[in-house]
Amino acid sequence: MITFETVVADTHYIVEEMLKSTKTKNIKSVGEQLLIKLEDTYIGYVHTETVKNICHIHTFVIHKDYQGYSFGTQAYLLFEEKCHGDQIKLNVSEDKRYNQFWERLGFAVADSNPTTFVKMILS
């Protein structure tokens, strides 16, 4: 079962490990930072911020050892249920695999900004 846990000072080193495993940089410091857990094991990290009913995903990573098992999809769907907004936005990547993941989840390139993926959330 996938759950989320708020990042605290004692678990920040886990975030660093998640980012290092996927060669990802955490570019923002504002917003909510959550560790993604599978049972008792930390498998990923998500960093979000909600502004004016738009939930921005700044960082979403699954540790490389846990990729390919649908944990990312499960974590995202759980996150979407808990999102407090009308839509979710994130940046498009140069990595095709990354973009295909988000497209499979219903995201599309925003008309107003070709470097942004957007998905409307149904209430």
Number of domains in the chain: 1
Range of the domain at 26: 2-120
Distances from the Cα of 32 to the Cαs of 49, 57, 61, 108, 112, in angstroms? 6, 10, 14, 24, 26
Output the pLDDT for position 91: 92
Question: Could you tell me which of 50, 45, 54 has the C-alpha nearest to residue 118?
Answer: 54
CATH code of residue 18: 3.40.630.30
Tens-level pLDDT at each residue, the chain (123 residues): 999 999 999 999 999 998 898 888 766 668 999 999 999 999 999 999 999 999 999 999 999 999 999 999 999 999 999 888 899 999 998 888 889 999 999 999 999 899 999 999 875
Distance between CA atoms of 30 and 5, rounded to whole angstroms?
Answer: 17
pLDDT at 95: 86
Place of tokens 């095709």: 96
**pTM of the entire structure?**
0.90
Q: Single out the residue of 40, 62, 60 nearest to residue 48, CA to CA.
A: 60
- Phi/psi at 57 (nearest 5 deg)? -95, 110
